Structure 1
Amino acid sequence: MTQHRPGQWPVEQPVDLDAVDGAKATHDELYVKRAAEKALHEMCLDSIRHDLEQQPTGPSAQAKARIWCAHILALADDVAAAKRKAA
């Protein structure tokens, strides 16, 4: 079998991962952008971790985590609906 389906390896035409919004960016710009994205991600997770650590017991921490998950999924649904409307 010589034909490759989408998602198979090896890729004949790899995507340029260093392109930002279709334009070439310097390595410094890419580093700053990735560092900012990572910092935002870590701040969000640390905020949730702090809230979970405030719970008095393990089961209450798990219950609170389920509440966080429900809220995050509700936010994702709202954002997806807004993006579908805008498209």
Structure 2
Amino acid sequence: MAELPEPEPQHNRAGTTEQARMAITLGSVRASLEEQPSANAIRATARRWIAAITAAAEDVIAERRHP
């Protein structure tokens, strides 16, 4: 299993919460990838996850620019 990136040096609840959220989310993504029947299907699913995350980021950015 891929290791999570090391968090910035934080010793507070927000850092711990973010790390926990990342672990749960990455576990869900990995489970989705493991369900795929072939290498090509795994890659296609990964690309869909990447696109969905990028779209969500763009939505958040747009919401912050135009509250």
Q: Which category describes the TM-score, using the shorter chain as reference length?
A: 0.7 to 0.9
Identity %, equivalent residues: 37
Q: Which residue of 2 aligns with 1:77?
A: 58
Higher strand share: 1
1:49 aligned to 2:14? no
Q: CA deviation at 1:34?
A: 2.0
Separation of aligned partners in 2, 1:34 and 1:81: 25
Higher helix share: 2
Separation of aligned partners in 2, 1:75 and 1:41: 15
Separation of aligned partners in 2, 1:48 and 1:33: 22
The amino acid across from 2:57 in the alignment is A
Separation of aligned partners in 1, 2:50 and 2:25: 13
Q: Could you tell me which runs of 5 or more consecutive residues in structure 2 were left unpaired when the two chains were aligned.
A: 1-8
**Among 13, 21, 36, which residue is 1:40 paired with?**
21
1:59 aligned to 2:62? no
Q: Could you tell me which runs of 5 or more consecutive residues in structure 1 were left unpaired when the two chains were aligned.
A: 1-16, 19-26
Structure with larger RCO (C-alpha < 8 A, sep 6+): 2
The TM-score, its normalising length taken from structure 2, stands at: 0.77
Q: CA deviation at 1:59?
A: 1.0
Q: Which residue of 2 aligns with 1:21?
A: none
The structure with the largest alpha-carbon Rg is 1
Q: How many pairs align?
A: 59
